[in-house]
Amino acid sequence: MANKYVDFISDKHLTDCISELYEKYYNAKVSFTKKNLYKNKVDIFKMLFDKKFNNLSDEQLIEKEIARQVDRTIVNAIGTFHERILAGVKNFEKVDAGIDIKSKDDKIFIELKNKHNTVKGEDSKSIFTKLLGEIEKHPNSKAYFARILDTKSTNKEWSFTHKRIEYSNENIFIISGDQLYKIVTGKDNSLVELYQSLPKAIDDFLATKNPDELAENIHSTALTELKKDTKKSGREIIDEITYSNYSYYLGFDELNK
């Protein structure tokens, strides 16, 4: 029987990958607490401008900030989604430690990131060293540093300079998502085929969920915790956040006393 979605991985594997990503969306929202909101210190001045310029209520403002912080978690999860997809292609597998993906015959090694601008400097050196270690252990192999979302379609020898040291090797390449999918699947347009199939595959997956299980209906506990705090203190939500984050600043301990 022909596959319903794409022909380079099974329908079950694609659905399993969607399910794993969905769980990360769900858990990122449901486990987000006031402690998470405060972890990196809230920019209270930006919140004031966001509220006024975008005409948001305090609750809308907080939900927007929570969504922004949760989104940072999801960006990493999207990279893992692509790792899982490619590891489901025949003759490829995901590696538990070290490199992200490799061919089962040890001819291809892949380190994958979701976006082109997430790795710089010392991280590039670390990735290059890791890839170099693999091709030195496996003669006649090739290694790829892949960015799913890149500034152009790329598959070329990776060379760069860090702290005046040149890094390059004829068997280590930097590659964009479309070219990576082509190499792994053997099909020129496999990445766009995945893109076109996802809406239907996601809809089919969501149709198996009860309404109470849908991520869109799940809310974090952070706003509920904030409301409890404001009830005790008598402060507005923004002032409560400001006080909680910066009560040690001059005068901030007097907010709404």
- What are the phi and psi torsion angles at 84 (to 5°)? -65, -40
pLDDT > 90 in the chain, percent: 58
Strand 101-103 vs strand 155-162: parallel, antiparallel, or unpaired?
A: unpaired
Closest to 113 (Cα-Cα) out of 130, 91, 132: 130
pLDDT at 145 over 90: yes
Strand 155-162 vs strand 142-149: parallel, antiparallel, or unpaired?
A: unpaired
The pLDDT, as a whole number, for residue 65 is 83
Which band of pLDDT confidence, cut at 50, 70 and 90, is reported for residue 257? low
Please give the Cα distance from 243 to 208 (Å, whole number).
44
CB 237 within 8 A of CB 48: no
The pLDDT, as a whole number, for residue 66 is 83
Question: Is the four-CA dihedral 173, 177, 180, 182 of positive or negative sign?
Answer: negative
The pLDDT, as a whole number, for residue 146 is 95
The pLDDT, as a whole number, for residue 155 is 97
Q: What is the mean pLDDT of the chain?
A: 89
Higher pLDDT, 59 or 84: 84
The pLDDT, as a whole number, for residue 209 is 83
Residue-wise pLDDT tens digits, 195-228: 999 999 999 999 988 776 665 656 678 888 888 9
Please give the Cα distance from 79 to 20 (Å, whole number).
12
Please give the Cα distance from 180 to 87 (Å, whole number).
12
The pLDDT, as a whole number, for residue 193 is 96
CA-to-CA separations, 72 to 6, 28, 52, 77, 250, in angstroms, rounded: 29, 10, 24, 9, 32
Residue-wise pLDDT tens digits, 14-32: 999 999 999 888 888 877 8
The pLDDT, as a whole number, for residue 87 is 96
The pLDDT, as a whole number, for residue 63 is 84
pTM of structure: 0.83
